[in-house]
Amino acid sequence: MCLFCKIASHEIPAEVLYEDEHVMAFKDIAPQAPVHFLVVPKKHIETIMDAEENDKELLGHLLFYGQKIAKEQGCEEKGARFVINCKTDGGQTVGHLHLHVLGKKQLYWPPG
Ligand code: AMP
Ligand code: ZN
């Protein structure tokens, strides 16, 4: 089982912000901003490019709860950064799809 599958099944502890039968949101272990959490599908999908037609609803669910939790974390007024890294060029290090949400820090574009 991969790292985020283990977190999603409570085999490895995490600071969980939200959980339902489809997704889990938890704080990033190495936060890059005062608010930095990840939202993962409970289903193992390796990268965003491995999503299939029947995952469309799940992807919407993931993004919906990402923004909802961002607001609960106090990011509504000033916004946040929503990021999905994919494979090597995208800088993905954990092979289980995850949405990063970073807030409470002024970020810039383009990224490094
Ligand atoms: P990525 O580079 O997009 O694959 O991001 C992986 C993220 O997972 C990084 O920001 C890590 O800090 C984070 N991470 C790795 N292990 C854990 C863990 N056990 N709990 C929470 N976050 C983790
Ligand atoms: Zn997994």
Separation of 6 CA from ligand 1 center, angstroms? 13
What stretches of the chain adopt beta strand conformation (E)? Answer: 16-19, 23-27, 35-41, 80-83, 99-103
Instruction: Report the distance separating Cα 15 and Cα 3, nearest Å.
Output: 14
Measured by CA distance, the residue closest to atom 23 of ligand 1 is 29
**Tens-place pLDDT, residues 9-66:** 999 999 999 999 999 999 999 999 999 999 999 999 999 999 999 999 999 999 999 9
Q: Cα-flanking dihedrals φ and ψ of residue 46, to 5°?
A: -65, -50
Q: Which atom of ligand 1 is nearest to the CA of 27?
A: 21
98 annotated active-site? yes
Closest among 53, 48, 112, 51 to 85, alpha carbons compared: 48
Q: Is the pTM of this model over 0.75?
A: yes
Separation of 100 CA from ligand 1 center, angstroms? 9
Domain ranges of the chain: 3-103
CATH for the 3-103 domain, from 3.30.428.10, 2.40.50.140, 2.40.70.10, 1.20.1250.20: 3.30.428.10
